[in-house]
Amino acid sequence: MNPLDDHPRVRVWVYTAFWLVALVQGALNVAYLAAGDIPAWLEVANAVVPFVGGYIGYTARRNTPPPDPGPSVADRVAPYTRP
């Protein structure tokens, strides 16, 4: 069982923190790549953050309600009548 399933407010903080970490990591990656040398700690972060992102994405998907299907196409199309 996922401990975040029962705590929606904690999930919001986890999603926000992960978004911020990924944003900063991306910016650092671009900056170090432009400088020509990526440090080892950043290479490790480039491997770990997507791995953790899979877990966070799975948690988000499990806690997202399915979309409302709404009316079918047949219900939205007016019946054809001869003029």
Nearest to 38 by CA among 20, 30, 50, 22: 30
pLDDT at position 14 is 86
Please state at what angle helix 8-35 crosses helix 40-62, rounded to 10 degrees.
150
Mean pLDDT for 67-79 is: 69
pLDDT band at 2 (very low <50, low <70, confident <90, very high): confident
Tell which wins on pLDDT, 30 or 9: 30
Distances from the Cα of 65 to the Cα of 13, 57, 62, angstroms:
19, 14, 8
Is residue 76 pLDDT above 70, yes or no?
Answer: no
Do residues 35 and 62 touch, judged by C-beta distance below 8 A?
A: no
pLDDT band at 67 (very low <50, low <70, confident <90, very high): confident
Is residue 27 pLDDT above 80, yes or no?
Answer: yes
